[in-house]
Structure 1
Amino acid sequence: TVLVDLTVAIEAGIVLAAFLFMRRMEKVTHAGFIIPANDEEEEIHDPFSIARFDIPEGVEVFEINGPFFFGAASKFQDAMTVLEKPPKVLILRMRHVPAIDATGLHALESIFKKTESWGTELLISGIRPQPSEALAKSGLKERMGSDRIHKNVGEALRHARALIEEKENRVQ
């Protein structure tokens, strides 16, 4: 407080704390495709471990862990570029996402548009209350269709199987 008054010092502290918070949130968030073989340790304790389910051919399961803020949104978009060919169904597993901000919503909107252009069905599983409310307020939930949002990955996989069968029956 020698060079400036106390108000400026408090404001600077708040700004620095905000940057520190954002940096830490970015570090705790992980986004990536689930490989069932890598999820076997979790199987013992988790009834919704992906290792317990049979993932149909043409279905990709992508899991986001941690708050879906601006730093995580870029990780999410980077991870989505790994897809070599578009899947028939993409399931976004959001059971470990306690919060989402505008950047996260924008990333979801972007992947929704991309999957539409690919002809891929997008399903969301395990969404928690705050992200669900944010999706509703943004209008994305309505554009996607509430039937595309499931309580857990088991329900989402059943829906994915039905969608794949429906597509195959239309082709024949």
Structure 2
Amino acid sequence: MIHTSIHTVDNPAEPGELAVAVRVGQRMLAAYGTVDDGDIFAYAQAHGGLAEALRILLRAVGAERVGGLPGETTEKKATSVSRCPAAHHDDPTPCDGPTVVTVLDAANAGADGCEHHAARLLASLDGGRVYALPDAPAGAAIRVFKAAGTIRPFAWVDRGERA
């Protein structure tokens, strides 16, 4: 009598959180480790990607901080904790909602953003374009485009909002 054993696996082995975090960090560093000088759009995109990779890594090792840094004011937490990739690091304003559009520059580099930061970014670009993400509310890209037409480039600098 020949005995055969069939081994079934209900849940194939999945990589652990740390392994996934390391892979994400490596990919983000490869993609955003070097940014061209003066390309504000690339800086915003790189900052968002690298910040998210760091959050994933900190979460995987159980060191994610909830509620901001010690000594941060409530206002600073609102502007620094969960900001869209389109938000410039010197822009102190908070996001006005979820990420709903992608803003592309003349070279087709892009960053996703909330309507508020996407409009500010679009206003600061020459030859920029805006596209709604698939799950965006109707008219989001149009609202961003129209708002950008009423905003000065680098509005946070012109109005003295710089932190």
Query: Where on the TM-score scale, by shorter chain, does this alignment land: which range?
Result: 0.3 to 0.5
The structure whose residues are more often helix, as a share, is: 1
Bigger relative contact order (CA 8 A; separation at least 6):
1
Task: Using structure 2 for the length normalisation, give the TM-score.
Answer: 0.32
Task: Using structure 1 for the length normalisation, give the TM-score.
Answer: 0.31
The structure whose residues are more often strand, as a share, is: 1
- Structure label with greater radius of gyration: 2
